[in-house]
A and B are shown apart, each in its own frame.
Chain A
Amino acid sequence: MQESAAFTPQFAAASITGILWLIPALPIVASGVIALLKQPRRKPAAALAIGALSISLLLSLIAFVHVVTGWARGAVVREFVNFTWFRFGSSTVDLGWVLDPLAAVMLVMVSFVGLLIFIYSVGYMAHDENFTRFFCFMSLFAGAMLGVVISNSLLLLFMCWEIVGLTSYLLIGFWYQKPSAVAAAKKAFVTTRVGDVFFLLGIVWLFSQTGTLLFYNHGVGSLEGLALVNLLSQHAGLGLSAAGAIALLIFAGAVGKSGQLPLHVWLPDAMEGPTPVSALIHAATMVAAGVFLVARVYPLMSIGAAPHGTTAALTVVTWVGACTAVFAALIAVAQNDIKRILAYSTISQLGYMMAGLGLGGVAVGIFHLITHAFFKALLFLGAGSVIHGCHDEQDIRRMGGLRADMPFTFLTYAIGMLALCGFPLVFSGFWSKDGILEAAHHSTAIKGPFYLLLFGALLTAFYMTRQVCYAFFGHWRGGSPTHESPKVMTLPLAILAFFAIALGFIGTPAWPWFHAFLENRAVAFDFHGFAEPGLGLLMLTSSVVVFIGLGIGWWLYGDKSPKPEAPDALEKSAPWLWTPLRDRLYVDEIYGATVIAFYTWWARVADWLDRRIWGGIVAFVACLFSLWARFNRFLDVHWVDGGFDKTCEELSSGGGLLSRVEGGRVQNYLRILAAAIVALAAILLWSSRP
């Protein structure tokens, strides 16, 4: 994606790129206004947040159309506005925003999904007493996320990135009266911070090497030819060029944010937050920010690759993604919390996106990101509807039979589930996942990820079938009866379900509109796209894999409605496999035994040092001083006091004298003021006499 002469018609550049900053600014301003509202104002808060985001969506659509028309005319649309934030010495720190296909697609996705989830939240949070605060944080999040998307400067991106992290922390801990929510919020914050430290290191390194943090700036930005060639020629050790090393550091930030191995531990716990938060932040948008970041710095990642080859950075991205995809899918098989299953599924799908980026380039990864954002938001909102209907029950073993009680939720949830599984031909997940598998299959350099990803697809189909069987089939095993959710919640479900199907058709092999759009090539509708050698076989393989997964799931769990206390079907047949999976492969325990244990030990050592060594020294010094003080006291009592008492008497009588000046009379003060001025002026004049 090397940039050629940028196509910027003056009128268009002035119209939409110039006001692109409004898109993130509006929700942020709305959030500020909501924060200033008097607290129990529900309707204005929701109206402000939804209104601001609607305008953002409108502007995003205008920007999108602008990019598409430019692209249709065969030009590369990459318009940016840069400005200097501050300068020190000879270097400047520049910020700016950019409008290119990647940003346009993400803008529309984030604001659209965000808007639907806002609307849904009105229903879901209707009974919460902190309704206003919720919309304040959500709006701030939406603004910051849109800011990440349009940033043309790594620094601006990092700032928005951190605001996004902050709102994530605030929203996970939204129900702060629950200790588990507080712990989860802290965990999320600290874990992502680990990745962000590396990210910041990467930023600083990039700045010191290239002197700019702008992505695109008429050929001198950090992602453009000159800087990249320069970075490639620097050696950073371990056989990496500076470009590769910086790319890996930035990728570490993405690992933290997108919950990739080994920093995925925070994401399942993040489900402590309200369900719309899980849908918006921890499924559809924020966690995708990591994937977006990798896509944004893709030139940095891929520089130095031979044609059809790969680089060290991309190889790492691919392997991390593929391993995460399988790892998280395995854990998801043995979870019982409806949201936790979806959380692990999210981690797994993010792994797919990363692998897609590493193997097939920006378009493959981002296409899966977009489709996933829709169907995963759909699944989460569906799960929220289920939880809402089941009176805050989240354990799928205590549900069942919801197919009859909540028919609409069941229908949409099934669409989302089939999209996630990659059910052939109709659902969007099939096409985007197939693109990744195809890219993995074509990759000549590394073969392993293909089989991992294929296995992951099998697992995905299996655990989603298990979840749906538990929740929607069989008979109701919970307490009080369920009810369907209100219209304000089901409407977003319907819209998302529509897109979960429809989006697939812009990225089929026959009409790869999306890929062409992101990669700036022409596109034509051509059924011969399916006739590419090996493609049919591949599609068949992946379909068969999905059907196997669905089949095993149905065979083990279908319509059986086991008792909540009874062991799981899989547990009965293979307990040796079940136990480690249920305990999430002991990752938290491993961290507990290593990192946290080390910190505890280190804190103990520090405590011991404090108490014994430093405490001893302090006590010794204190003892010396106390001796000295005794001596002084002796002197004081017998020598000094006499004189001091006299001084005190003098002082108090002097104070009495001075208090007469403070007579409470305005004119006295004025008089003293004037006299002082006369004195000062006289001194000044006298001393400056010629």
Chain B
Amino acid sequence: MSPIFYILAVLTIGGGLAAVLLKNLVHAALATTVAFAGLALLYLQLDAQFAGFAQILVYIGAVAILIVFAILLTRGSDLPKDGVFSRTWAVGLVIAAAVFAVLAWAVLQSVRAVPQQAAVPAVTVHDIGNALVGRYVLPLEIVGLLLTAATIGAVIVAMHEKERAK
């Protein structure tokens, strides 16, 4: 395993952990951004340049900003009085640990069954574009529709009721 991979893995996991653990919501959002960035770099490591840059554009460029906006709009940056963790946090932790255990077990069990090495695939953005408007054109259009619907839906849900009543 290359050292770059370790660095990126630590960056991603660390970002994730910080996002979950930090008390201040704005800090948590920034930590999430770090995790997203780590993931994007991992995609690049996997020779998935397109997906990596899409990750940066969508997650760091849009989702992270959205989260920050939501925090500001809901005054979530004020620290709550009765702690940031839910009353039954222990149960949640146990379940998360169990999920990780099962997943890790599955991965380690199948280590021998899957190929661990592979040639670098020669895939260009050109190929991806062709696939998007060729084989995957229907999903692409459906995703477009979904995004439109989600945009409209989000606006309607978040819109001020008084303005709607006018």
Q: Do chains A and B directly touch (beta carbons under 8 Å) in the complex?
A: yes
Binds A, one of B19-27, B34-42, B90-98, B145-153: B90-98
* A674 near B102: Cβ-Cβ < 8 Å: no
A667 at interface, CB cutoff 8 A: yes
Q: Which residues of B contact A681 (CB under 8 A)?
A: 102-103, 106
CA distance A268 to B91 in the complex (A): 82
CA distance A689 to B110 in the complex (A): 10
* B109 near A671: Cβ-Cβ < 8 Å: no
B105 at interface, CB cutoff 8 A: yes
* B98 near A675: Cβ-Cβ < 8 Å: yes
Q: How large is the interface on A (under 10, 10 to 19, 20 to 34, 35 or more residues)?
A: 10 to 19
Contact indicator per residue, chain A 658-678, by CB within 8 Å of chain B (1) or not (0): 000000000100010011011
* B98 near A685: Cβ-Cβ < 8 Å: no
* B109 near A685: Cβ-Cβ < 8 Å: yes
CA distance A667 to B102 in the complex (A): 21
Contact indicator per residue, chain B 83-127, by CB within 8 Å of chain A (1) or not (0): 000101001100110110011011001000000000000000000
CB contacts under 8 Å to B, within A632-690, are 667, 671, 674-675, 677-678, 681-682, 685, 689
* A667 near B98: Cβ-Cβ < 8 Å: no
CB contacts under 8 Å to B, within A412-436, are none
* B102 near A678: Cβ-Cβ < 8 Å: yes
CA distance A276 to B98 in the complex (A): 77
Q: Which residues of B contact A682 (CB under 8 A)?
A: 102
* B109 near A678: Cβ-Cβ < 8 Å: no
Pick the most buried of A674, A678, A685: most chain B CB atoms within 10 A of its CB: A678
Q: Which residues of A contact B105 (CB under 8 A)?
A: 685
Given A671-B91, A671-B92, A671-B95, A685 and B106 contact (CB-CB distance below 8 Å): yes
Q: Which residues of B contact A689 (CB under 8 A)?
A: 109
Given A667-B86, A671-B92, A677 and B109 contact (CB-CB distance below 8 Å): no
Q: In terms of DSSP, what is the predominant structure of the interface of chain B?
A: helix
Q: Which residues of A contact B103 (CB under 8 A)?
A: 681
CA distance A674 to B94 in the complex (A): 11
Given A667-B86, A685-B105, A678 and B92 contact (CB-CB distance below 8 Å): no
Closest to A689 in B: B109
Q: Which residues of B contact A678 (CB under 8 A)?
A: 95, 98-99, 102
B121 shortest CB reach to chain A, Å: 30
Closest to A685 in B: B106
Q: Which residues of A contact B109 (CB under 8 A)?
A: 685, 689
B15 shortest CB reach to chain A, Å: 22
A682 shortest CB reach to chain B, Å: 6
* A675 near B95: Cβ-Cβ < 8 Å: yes
CA distance A221 to B61 in the complex (A): 63
CA distance A172 to B106 in the complex (A): 71
* A674 near B86: Cβ-Cβ < 8 Å: no
CB contacts under 8 Å to A, within B11-59, are none
Q: In terms of DSSP, what is the predominant structure of the interface of chain A?
A: helix
Q: Which residues of A contact B91 (CB under 8 A)?
A: 671
A200 shortest CB reach to chain B, Å: 38
* A674 near B106: Cβ-Cβ < 8 Å: no
CA distance A677 to B101 in the complex (A): 12
* A677 near B92: Cβ-Cβ < 8 Å: no
Closest to A674 in B: B95
* B95 near A667: Cβ-Cβ < 8 Å: no
A116 shortest CB reach to chain B, Å: 43
Q: Which residues of A contact B88 (CB under 8 A)?
A: 667
CA distance A671 to B98 in the complex (A): 11
CA distance A681 to B102 in the complex (A): 7
CA distance A689 to B103 in the complex (A): 15
B59 shortest CB reach to chain A, Å: 22
Closest to A680 in B: B102
Q: Which residues of B contact A671 (CB under 8 A)?
A: 91-92, 95
Q: Which residues of A contact B96 (CB under 8 A)?
A: 674
CA distance A675 to B88 in the complex (A): 15
* A677 near B99: Cβ-Cβ < 8 Å: yes
Closest to A678 in B: B98
CA distance A681 to B110 in the complex (A): 14
CA distance A527 to B102 in the complex (A): 101
Closest to B102 in A: A681
Q: Which residues of A contact B92 (CB under 8 A)?
A: 667, 671
Pick the most buried of B88, B95, B96, B109: most chain A CB atoms within 10 A of its CB: B95
Q: Which residues of B contact A677 (CB under 8 A)?
A: 99
CA distance A436 to B59 in the complex (A): 81
CB contacts under 8 Å to B, within A571-614, are none
CA distance A674 to B102 in the complex (A): 11
CA distance A667 to B106 in the complex (A): 26
CA distance A331 to B152 in the complex (A): 67
CA distance A380 to B44 in the complex (A): 78
B81 shortest CB reach to chain A, Å: 19
* B95 near A685: Cβ-Cβ < 8 Å: no
B109 shortest CB reach to chain A, Å: 7
Q: Which residues of A contact B86 (CB under 8 A)?
A: 667
CA distance A598 to B84 in the complex (A): 85
CA distance A685 to B99 in the complex (A): 13
Q: Which residues of A contact B99 (CB under 8 A)?
A: 674, 677-678
Closest to A667 in B: B86
CA distance A674 to B96 in the complex (A): 8
CA distance A675 to B102 in the complex (A): 11
A663 shortest CB reach to chain B, Å: 11
A681 shortest CB reach to chain B, Å: 5
B101 shortest CB reach to chain A, Å: 8
CA distance A685 to B110 in the complex (A): 10
CA distance A211 to B96 in the complex (A): 65
B72 shortest CB reach to chain A, Å: 23
CA distance A689 to B113 in the complex (A): 12
Closest to A684 in B: B106
CA distance A677 to B98 in the complex (A): 10
Closest to B103 in A: A681
CA distance A667 to B86 in the complex (A): 9
CA distance A667 to B85 in the complex (A): 12
Q: Which residues of B contact A674 (CB under 8 A)?
A: 95-96, 98-99
Closest to A668 in B: B88
CA distance A678 to B109 in the complex (A): 16
CA distance A667 to B93 in the complex (A): 12
Known: A671-B92, A674-B96, A675-B98. 13 other contacts (CB 8 A): A667-B86, A667-B88, A667-B92, A674-B98, A674-B99, A678-B98, A678-B99, A678-B102, A681-B103, A681-B106, A685-B102, A685-B106, A689-B109
Interface residues in chain A, defined as those with a beta carbon under 8 Å from any beta carbon in chain B: 667, 671, 674-675, 677-678, 681-682, 685, 689
- A selection of 7 A-B contacts at a CB cut-off of 8 Å is A671-B95, A674-B95, A674-B99, A675-B95, A678-B95, A678-B102, A685-B102
Question: Top 8 nearest A-B pairs by Cβ distance?
Answer: A678-B98, A681-B102, A674-B95, A678-B102, A675-B95, A678-B99, A682-B102, A671-B95
